Amino acid sequence: MSQPSMSVATPVPHIRLIFLLVIAAFFMDVIDASIVTVALPSIRTEFAASIPDSQWIYGAYAITVAGFLLLMGRAGDIYGQKKIFVAGLVIFSIASFTGGIAPSLLSLVVSRAVQGIGAAMTTVTAFAIFIRIFHEGPERNKALGYLVAVLSGGFAAGAVAGGALTTFLGWRWVMFINVPIGIVTVLLCLRYLPGGGGWLKNQPLDVPGALTVTSGTILLIYGLTNAAALGFASEWSFIPLILSALVLAAFVLIESRSNAPLMPLDFIRRGSVLTANTLALVLTSIVGGVGFIVPVYFQNVLGYSAVYSGLLTLPPALTFFIVGGWVAPRLVNRFGAKRTLLVSSALISVGTLLLTPMSPNGNAFVLMPGLLVWALGASIGFPAINIAAVAGTRPGEEGLASGVVGTSSRVGFPIGLAILLTIAGAFDPPAAGNANASTSTAGVVAGFQAAMLAATLIGVLGFLIALRLKDVKPPWASGDWKPNETAPQQAAP
């Protein structure tokens, strides 16, 4: 069996509308993450949930997205991107509705997990559609800049919308808002998105690989989450962690013997792929942990409303919007990925260190310099990570490289959240479990300060990892690169 060659970009009608549909898929994913984060304190109050338990509202979504990205990307190659894309939108919309009517924390977490599966289907196929409709080089880079800017704006919009919806209509509307957006997007996709079969019609899905990597990741985060509340000595902590190690080892064994693996092991060892993905895991773990703790501190310790807390996230979100969309690609073009990532890691470390002056009677504006420096570092780092992750790949493997680094980034969020909450809970477990109690406020703040110090050290680790990275520049910086190249035909095993 031979793999058909695929042009990197194929002219299609309604290209601007299709690009808007691609943006809509990513926008729903990004806005959902930020909108729910702002609503977490209100959700926790209604269900009388602890901070570690409520992080599953955030973590369940992130885990299923990460676990199903590679599988759904391969499903799109086999069955066609349109089918998987539309099915993902339908699943995401239905899960949003069930989440909005959830009668308990458990039912909400289950809906969020199903939402994550739908998001994995839409985002991974949206990226494939994006690659297909834009020529590689200046045309695609310009569109990618617009995409990054819109997604950064979506994060800011989600923070503000989440605060407004939670305050004026209730937290359930942060779920319901996805339903009309999903319905309109599905109808437009059915009308305008080109269909057709997949590129690998005869290649089977690696279902065992997908199941093991997903279940292994879930067990890992579940163990870390329980450790935050119960300690690592609890059987609810160390047993899931041990099982996670065994299941992930089984995943590696399955991939080594599969004729069509979800993630070929030789691929991850090539060039800068392993280093870049490790760095993605490290840096996103900081973003995930800080992104959860800071809103909780604003609302539960300082007593700010959800709307005001959302507005406080606008300056760092605008930093992502401007720097990530326009400045970061130019920095990588001029200085290369390695130096850009060294600066990024340093800025993230400094930013989190500046977040340590939390106090029970503090002021949010004292933390604003730290949030801005943290956002600046993250916004220049992630484009560079993606460039470094594909630099060591062979022609025709860029999509696989993007899928792997996307998975690493997605897994980093809940891992960082679990680790930092574990550290925060170690200082005062009852306080970490109930930040609303006045007697435990000092303990909560002490735990959050320790978590920010830990995030600083993780940023230093990222700096050390970046030192090992091969200095790479994007492919269009090379004189040998030609736009709209066609992937070579390769014989399948």
- What are 68-106's pLDDT values in tens digits? 887 887 777 777 788 889 999 999 999 999 999 999 999
Task: Tell me whether residue 273 is in a domain.
Answer: yes
The total domain count for the chain is: 3
What's the CA gap between 356 and 454, in Å, rounded? 10
Is residue 199 included in any domain, yes or no? no
DSSP letter for 438, please: G
Q: Are 185 and 318 members of one domain?
A: no
CA distances from 373 to 296, 344, 347, 363 (A): 20, 10, 6, 18
| 306 and 217 share one domain | no
Residues 20, 123 within the same domain:
yes
Q: Looking at the structure, do residues 470 and 324 belong to the same domain, yes or no? A: yes
Q: Among the three residues 232, 259, 286, which one is the final residue of a domain in this structure?
A: 259
Percent of the chain predicted with pLDDT > 90: 23
3-state secondary structure of 204: coil
Considering the domain architecture, whether residues 31 and 168 belong to the same structural domain is answered as yes
Q: How far, in Å, CA of 36 to CA of 161, rounded?
A: 10
Residue 61 belongs to some domain of the structure: yes
Q: How far apart (Å, rounded) are the C-alpha atoms in residues 115 and 266?
A: 32
Residue that finishes a domain, picked among 216, 232, 259: 259
Place of tokens 């696989």: 400
> Mean pLDDT lowest for which of 91-100, 146-155, 273-282, 339-348?
146-155
Which residue type does 372 have? L
Per DSSP, 8 falls in state S
pLDDT at 490 over 50: no
The answer to whether residue 18 is domain-embedded is yes
Per-residue tokens: 136: 């590689």
In a domain, 1, yes or no: no
Q: Residue 469 sits in which domain range?
A: 263-477
The answer to whether residues 39 and 58 belong to one domain is yes
**CA-closest candidate to residue 428, choices 412, 416, 439:** 439
Residue labelled with tokens 């901070």:
51
pLDDT for 344 = 94
131 against 444, higher pLDDT: 444
pLDDT band, very low/low/confident/very high, at 293 (cuts 50, 70, 90): confident
* Cα–Cα distance measured from residue 156 to residue 175, given in angstroms and rounded to the nearest whole number: 17
Residue 111 resides in a domain = yes
Pairing of strands 490-491, 2-3: antiparallel
Decide if 487 is inside a domain: no
Inside any domain, residue 485:
no
